[in-house]
Chains A and B, each alone.
Chain A
Amino acid sequence: MTLLQVKGLQVRFAAPGSGPFGINRQWVKAVNGVSLSLTTGEVLGLVGESGSGKSTLGRAILRLTEVSAGQILFDGVDMAQGKRIDIERLRHETAMIFQDPYTALNPRMSIGDTLAEVLRVRCAIPASLIRQRVDELLTLVGLRPELADRKPGSLSGGQCQRVGIARALAIEPRLIIADECVAALDVSIQGQIINLLLELRQRMNLAILFIAHDLAIVRRLCDRVAVMYLGEIVEEGPTEAVFSSPRHPYTVALIQSIPHIDPTRPLLDATLPGEPPSPLNLPSGCAFHPRCRYAQPICAKTPPPIRDINGHRYSCVLGEPLF
């Protein structure tokens, strides 16, 4: 069942303009016509370089950022035009996990109180049952219930991230948006959090939008993956199809840049020259063409066609697989 469907979503921010009183105002197109869908129980990975608009897209879906155009259908209701009551419902059924576990929690509140607050405000649970539910949530994410009286400062990064996940799960959401939720953690702890998400997904049939820049983790965790570049999704499809036969030159470069633990594999020469251009001034035609080694004259003129091979979609003039 399709839980979330995003159609042609655009988010733009005003950049300080030049001229008197900033009269020549410019707009940053952070998300530029993105479409994607997510079914119940599915994990969709969203990858791309910093500044590609991954986080903005995640926040826009939860209406934490103003949407400029497009539709966000959650359960068939368009949240982009949603009334206050619709957005209330959206936030009852969706939750977000943030990158930095320390700053996402209130340092002056014990983690038990943090969880209790969510339960009291969102779930209308009788006060007498709250303590019990807090203990259940902590156990669910693998923390000892005794930790409920501790403040975030006395917990480790991995423990704080588990609290962040417990808080997201408190409202029993149907959709979780996890924004780089393991990027700040050590590898040994990263694994624990990823395993927890895998387990919870199975147990609770959660849909997860997993925003990350670590492709190795995405490959392990996600059913499908979408690659973003400068506010657009350039390739999207089943994880294995995208990783084993990437079609878009940008995806190829991303996959080749993953540092591999096999010491006999040499470091490749710069897989992708340069850095993403400013989103203030997007290149014409295909936004990737200035960095693309396969660029043809037509790439600078017209946006590339969207091709679809058994649900593996990509937008590029090249028809043949690259490797």
Chain B
Amino acid sequence: MNKEDLIKKWLDNNLNPEEQKAFEQLEDYKELTKMDSSLKNFRAPKFAVDSNYKNLKPNLNKNSESNWWKPLIRIAAIFAIAFSVYYYSTSLDTEMNTNIAEQISVDLPDQSVAKLNANSLLSFNDHSWEEKREVNLIGEAFFKVAKGQKFDVITKNGIVTVLGTQFNVKQRSTYFEVTCYEGLVAVTHKNSTVELQPGDTFKIIDGKQITNEKETATKPSWLSGESNFKSVPLKYVIAEFENQYDLSIIHKNIDTSRLFTGSFTHKDLDLALKSITLPLNLSYSKSGKSIKLKRE
């Protein structure tokens, strides 16, 4: 048996008498036993188990008994939070909005569809849709309403009520226009209600009601990429133009209350500008993001 193994066995207190003898013969024996006896002086301070346990005992509160309801409270809290988040998010209105030169189609909770023209905002509540079909509108939208109960479009200028039809609502600042394409539409404006037959248009400009001849199209022109106007003051035409093209129009010294009849396309800037300016004997010049209108 070699020295290292002997020493290891000695360390493990595992020497048999024979090995013990051999170990004592080692030259290291004296050094090892000397170290060993000195090491005993490094004993860890005495740890009084019993008295220390007595000291510890008062610190052990009876948490085990009062513990059972704590997890329950946590679970309840999670449920409460989850429920309130759910309730809050479902009672929140769904909002859809379009930027300039953007059109989107919004599927409402039933079969109804709303097509949103540029720079418009539509909001409705998914949660209470079953009880009341109600949408808020700022801007212009075309609705195809599924048959069912009353359907309300609420705008700043008035409420449009229908049962199931197709109609267009346009509300831009003081301009308010409702055109019925199918079915029957009721428009409530300042406490008076007007019923629109298919083809009828209800139009309020600056608080004045304007009557139009019958509409023959089956859907609003903006759905096919054109804005159509019949005797509309130029400023609303310009405003609509700014909705469809991301440009600003400068129109100093021009009478914007002149009436405009015609249309402009949403797809070709120059053509659109010409369609507006030529009939009114105006000319235009482009510079960057702005367009200046001048009298000829």
Q: Are A and B subunits of one complex?
A: no
